[in-house]
Amino acid sequence: MRLIDTHCHLDFDAYDAVRDSIVREAAEAGVTRIINPGTDLARSRAAVGLADAYPGVYAAVGIHPNSTADFDEPMLDALREMAAHPKVIAIGEIGLDYYRDNSPRAQQWRAFEAQLALAADLGLPVIIHNREASDDVLDILAAWTPTLPGALRDRPGVLHSFSAPQSAAERGLAIGFYLGFTGPVTFKKADDLRRIAARVPLDRVLVETDGPFLTPEPRRGRWPNKPAYVRYIAERVAALHTLPDDAFAAQTTANAERLFALPTPAD
């Protein structure tokens, strides 16, 4: 089973002592590609560094809503410079987070809209973080997608670690977004989320670990989560679609290659 972990914070300290072995273990498990999103300027730079260091690692650069308190124009310029790297395949993770209040909402909006404009300008898809902010996130995205160049219209981005209501899934899908599923889709009490995952069109599903967080069943509770575990998420979503694991893996891998314009490996 060949899979892409479309969202793992490989640059986080949790991996410092084990990064090489975790990347190797992932490759041995068929997870030969990992996308490392940025969360602030330093972490975006670290993600680009890891993309340089590991052939299968790709980076996204962006300022996470919780880190937008001091967002300013020079930060946007720095992101633009980093995004020129050939292995930067998206702007992210960006969005709104009303669960934590590290940054005032007006500032989160400002940073979100500025980074969406940057993505449109650069022709890159976006990786969206949404926590308890579905209405505002989707209003902003619905206003943004019509401004996109044609090549991005059918691959604007992913609603990462999807955990919002069905209505938000429908709004996101209607404007071309993919939905990313993480460990919670395997959790015992997540029937609502599984109902959503079961209804997402197969050509819009991504799997991701969001490592080091959200370790899936049957490894829930282990720290850190890691890319090799993305198979547990894939197997669970495959079953919801009553598809064989291999067929589902091929489909979701093709989805990630299309969304992020990743080169298809030669094998």
Q: Using CB under 5 A as the criterion, which residues of the chain lie in contact with Zn ion when the complex forms?
A: 210
Q: Which is nearer to Zn ion, 148 or 193 (CB)?
A: 193
The β-bridge partners of 206 are 180
Q: Which is nearer to Zn ion, 36 or 253 (CB)?
A: 36
**CB 229 → Zn ion: shortest distance, Å?**
15
Q: Which is nearer to Zn ion, 7 or 194 (CB)?
A: 7
Q: In what order do the strands lie in the sheet with 3-5?
A: 3-5, 31-36, 57-61, 88-97, 126-131, 157-159, 178-181, 205-207
User: Angle CA(214)–CA(220)–CA(223) in degrees, nearest 5?
Assistant: 70
Q: Which is nearer to Zn ion, 22 or 148 (CB)?
A: 22
Q: Which is nearer to Zn ion, 32 or 36 (CB)?
A: 36
**CB 62 → Zn ion: shortest distance, Å?**
10
Fill in the amino acid letter for 129. Answer: H
User: How far is residue 215's CA from residue 73's CA, in Å, rounded to a whole number?
Assistant: 36
Q: Which is nearer to Zn ion, 11 or 210 (CB)?
A: 210
**CB 213 → Zn ion: shortest distance, Å?**
7
Q: Is 251 exposed, middle or buried (0-12, 13-18, 19+ CB in 10 A)?
A: middle
**CB 150 → Zn ion: shortest distance, Å?**
29
Residue 182 and residue 152 in contact, taking contact as beta carbons nearer than 8 Å: no
Q: Which is nearer to Zn ion, 14 or 148 (CB)?
A: 14
**CB 8 → Zn ion: shortest distance, Å?**
8
**CB 160 → Zn ion: shortest distance, Å?**
6
**CB 186 → Zn ion: shortest distance, Å?**
17
Note the maximum CA span of the chain.
49
Fill in the amino acid letter for 219. Answer: R
**CB 211 → Zn ion: shortest distance, Å?**
9
Helix (H) or strand (E) holding 235: helix 230-240
Comparing CA positions, the residue from 218, 220, 251, 223 lying closest to residue 236 is 218
Q: Which is nearer to Zn ion, 82 or 148 (CB)?
A: 82
Residue 101 and residue 69 in contact, taking contact as beta carbons nearer than 8 Å: no
| Residue 139: CB atoms within 10 Å | 12
Residue with tokens 């996204």: 60
Runs of H (alpha helix) within 83-123: 105-122
